Amino acid sequence: MQEAMINKAKQLLADGIVDRVIGWKRGEFVYDITPAIFETAEELEKDFVYDDFTAANVSKYLVKESKKEGKILAFLKPCDTYSFNQLIKEHRVVRENVYIVGIPGGPKLDAEKIKEKGITGILSVKNENYTLKIETVYGEETMPFYEAVLDKCASCKSKKHMIYDELLGEEGDVLDSNRFDMVEKLENMTAQERYDFWREQLSKCIRCNACRNVCPACTCEKCVFDNPDSGIENKAPADSFEENMFHIIRAFHVAGRCTDCGECSRVCPQNIPLHLLNRKFIKDINTFYGEYQAGEDTTSRAPLNEYKQSDCEANIVHERGAE
Amino acid sequence: MQVNENKEFQPLIVAFCCNWCSYAGADLAGTNRLNYPDNIKIIRVPCSCRVNPMFILRAFQRGADGVILCGCHPGDCHYTSGNYFTRRRMTLLFSMLDFLGIERDRTRVEWVSAAEGAKFAATMNEFTEAVKKLGPNRRLEDLRCRKQ
Ligand code: SF4
Ligand code: SF4
Ligand code: SF4
Ligand code: FES
């Protein structure tokens, strides 16, 4: 895939269709893949990477990049196209300035999950019939491929691109996803159990704000969490109230807008399952107001910007059985 | 929250009331001399949809044991549709609080018109009783704000 992508990018640059390319570059370790801009064929040859660790969604970068002069080429996985669509809907990107090549998605790998197996010093990985062969500085190791897959890919909702100018590779389908399983499991616990579960998770938060920074729905120029008058500006949570508040407000702000790209959980250095909060909102919206997935289109109204006279009353939450 | 040694726990309740219906309803309850608990602190807002989730959380942070939001009946909002948006927002917010294991009976939305003084008093009595049963808010309190 990497070769085909580099060739495609070089050709589009040479034909003058695009002026820049947003892709990924390798950092210090093999699994350190971060988005980067390329301007020439030489740069592409030298640094462009697309492999099993390339999970970053580049659509948020296009908010800034698409406002610059000239056209930019972006390679988007199916999940990324939902985010890009949502950004178009919210008038955050200049569509004309982006040339989208749809590429097949994951499953992508989670280096943390490999390290959890005690495998360190990773030099390279190879998927051979769903056994992961890992070259390390200490010799070769193996593990089942699916045990190293990122959580967001394990509960993928769609392999179909929602928007593109051109496709590279085969198009997939919207999947019958298991993404609400864990939300349901939590819903079936008692309030005390849920409280304990979330205390354990949320108390790990160091308020690095990475989840907000990476989120393609969090594109506010002035975020509440940057407001010096709010008393909660860029600081570590002082107690359980602030932890709860940050997470409730962050999730609420993206309710009905979250494209379920899973980036927030992926980047969290503390491994907090943030997607469960977003998915709870998606699930509630589906049950209360009808099926809706942000990013599927660019025209429909967001569920929180809309209402029906026949909507359920808020008390529905209180009537939902004991505990 | 106020705890007095010989007295039972008296919850502190914050009631957000929209100016056009519920606040007038509260007024009517007053002029009709209907009883409702004095631990209800009313905050007047222009419309129920002025209340964003942060207001509710802040109220809990500053010591509320229960928060109730009152607005005009659906269809009667002074600004036509404000309360319909409120309804969706609060449904999702309360559901999220529940998901995080925070007692859902500490929050409520109620539609009270300017003519429903009696309903206002009854609602407040009922809600205060419900919160009293739950005891002091511990799961969504800010320790730094706890009154000794
Ligand atoms: S990325 Fe994780 S640790 Fe950082 S602010 Fe978000 S939840 Fe907290
Ligand atoms: S909240 Fe998380 S899953 Fe939703 S759009 Fe933002 S980063 Fe993606
Ligand atoms: S947390 Fe809220 S205010 Fe901040 S960027 Fe996200 S949506 Fe905007
Ligand atoms: S004015 Fe009463 S709810 Fe809008």
How far out from the chain centre does Cα B137 lie? 14
Residue A175 or A185, more confident: A185
Could you tell me what percent of chain A has a pLDDT over 90? 59
Using the mean position of ligand 2's atoms as its centre, give its distance from the Cα of residue A260 in Å. Answer: 5
Using the mean position of ligand 1's atoms as its centre, give its distance from the Cα of residue A274 in Å. Answer: 8
Give the pLDDT score at A232: 77
Give the pLDDT score at A48: 92
Using the mean position of ligand 1's atoms as its centre, give its distance from the Cα of residue A270 in Å. Answer: 7
Helix (H) or strand (E) holding A199: helix A191-202
CA atoms of A216 and B91, how far apart (whole Å): 25
Q: Where are the domains of chain A?
A: 1-109+151-177, 111-148, 179-323
Residue nearest to atom 1 of ligand 3 (CA): A250
For residue A245, list chain B residues with Cβ-Cβ distance below 8 A.
Answer: 54, 57, 61
Ligand 3: which of A208, A253, A277, A304 to mutate, judged by most atoms within 8 Å of the beta carbon?
Answer: A253
B23 within some domain: yes
Ligand 1: which of A247, A274, A275, A278 to mutate, judged by most atoms within 8 Å of the beta carbon?
Answer: A274
Question: What's the whole-number mean pLDDT along residues B12-34?
Answer: 94
Domain span at B127: 11-138
Mean pLDDT for all residues in chain B:
91
B2 within some domain: no
Write out pLDDT tens, residues A227-254: 888 777 777 888 888 899 999 999 999 9
Number of folded domains in chain B? 1
Q: Is the pLDDT of residue B6 over 70?
A: no
Give the pLDDT score at A101: 93
Q: Is the CB of A27 under 6 A from ligand 1?
A: no
Q: Is the CB of A212 under 6 A from ligand 3?
A: yes
Question: What's the whole-number mean pLDDT along residues A276-303?
Answer: 92
Q: Mutating which of A235, A244, A258, A272 best tests the B interface, going by the most B Cβ atoms within 10 A?
A: A244
Q: Is the pLDDT of residue A323 over 70?
A: no
B5 within some domain: no
Pull the structure tokens for residue A155: 């509960």
The shortest C-alpha distance from B31 to chain A (Å) reads: 29
CA atoms of A89 and A295, how far apart (whole Å): 8
Residue A30 or A233, more confident: A30
Pull the structure tokens for residue A212: 């907000």
Compute how many other C-beta atoms are within 10 angstroms of the C-beta atom of residue B116: 22
Q: What is the pTM of this model?
A: 0.91
Residue nearest to atom 2 of ligand 1 (CA): A268
Give the pLDDT score at A85: 94
Q: Is the pLDDT of residue A105 over 90?
A: no
Pull the structure tokens for residue A273: 């399952």
Using the mean position of ligand 3's atoms as its centre, give its distance from the Cα of residue A210 in Å. Answer: 12
B134 within some domain: yes
CA atoms of B131 and B140, how far apart (whole Å): 14
B148 within some domain: no
Q: Is the pLDDT of residue B49 over 90?
A: yes
Q: Is the pLDDT of residue A82 over 90?
A: yes
CA atoms of A188 and A144, how far apart (whole Å): 31
**What residue type is B128 in one-letter code?**
T
B1 within some domain: no
CA atoms of B137 and B1, how far apart (whole Å): 8
Q: Is the CB of A263 under 6 A from ligand 2?
A: yes
Q: What is the DSSP letter of B72?
A: P
CA atoms of A12 and A8, how far apart (whole Å): 6
Cβ contact (<8 Å) for B53 and A238? no
Q: Is the pLDDT of residue B3 over 60?
A: no
Q: Is the pLDDT of residue B65 over 80?
A: yes
Q: What is the DSSP string of A214-281?
A: H-TT---SS-GGG-GGGS-TT----SHHHHHHHHHHHHHHTTTT-----HHHHH-TT---THHHHHHH
CA atoms of B144 and A116, how far apart (whole Å): 38
For residue B109, list chain A residues with Cβ-Cβ distance below 8 A.
Answer: 313-315
Q: Is the pLDDT of residue A314 over 60?
A: yes
Contact present, B53 and A248 (Cβ < 8 Å):
yes
State how beta strands B13-18 and B40-45 pair.
parallel
Helix (H) or strand (E) holding A185: helix A181-187
Q: Which residues contact B148 (CB under 8 A, 6 or more apart)?
A: none
Q: Is the pLDDT of residue A76 over 90?
A: yes
B145 within some domain: no
List residues near ligand 4 (CB under 6 A): B 18, 20-21, 47-48, 71-72, 77-79, 82-83
Q: Which residues contact B50 (CB under 8 A, 6 or more apart)?
A: B18, B82
How far out from the chain centre does Cα A263 lie? 3
**Given pLDDT bands bounded at 50, 70 and 90, which one contains residue A164?**
very high
For residue B94, list chain A residues with Cβ-Cβ distance below 8 A.
Answer: 314, 317-318
Write out pLDDT tens, residues B112-147: 999 999 999 999 999 999 999 999 998 998 888 876
Give the pLDDT score at B1: 55
Angstrom CA distances, A283 to A305, A312, B88, stand at 17, 15, 14
Q: Is the pLDDT of residue A315 over 90?
A: no
Could you tell me what percent of chain B has a pLDDT over 70? 95
B146 within some domain: no
Give the pLDDT score at B100: 94
Buried b vs exposed e over A37-73: b needs ≥16 C-beta within 10 Å?
ebeebebbeeebbbbbbbbbbbbbbbbebbeeeebbb
Ligand 4: which of B27, B48, B68, B90 to mutate, judged by most atoms within 8 Å of the beta carbon?
Answer: B48
Give the pLDDT score at A210: 93
Angstrom CA distances, B104 to A193, A316, B49, stand at 14, 11, 20
CATH code for the domain in which residue B76 is found:
3.40.50
